[in-house]
Amino acid sequence: MPVHTSPADADILSVMPASSCYTVVYDLSDDRERYRVDKVLKGWGFRVQKSVFECRLSRRERIRLAGLLEGLQLKSGTVRIYRVLGEGAIRIGAITEEDVGRAVVFVF
Over residues 9-25, the pLDDT tens digits come to 444 444 456 888 899 99
Distances (CA, A) of 99 to 8, 12, 48: 9, 11, 25
Domains of the chain in start order, with CATH, are 8-107 (3.30.70.240)
Position 97 scores a pLDDT of: 56
pLDDT in tens, 31-75: 999 999 999 999 899 999 999 999 999 989 999 999 999 999 999
Phi, psi of 46 (to 5 degrees): -130, 150
Determine the Cα–Cα distance for residues 63 and 101; give it in Å rounded to an integer: 9
Position 10 scores a pLDDT of: 46
pTM score, two decimals? 0.65
To the nearest 10°, report the CA torsion of 80, 47, 49, 37. 50
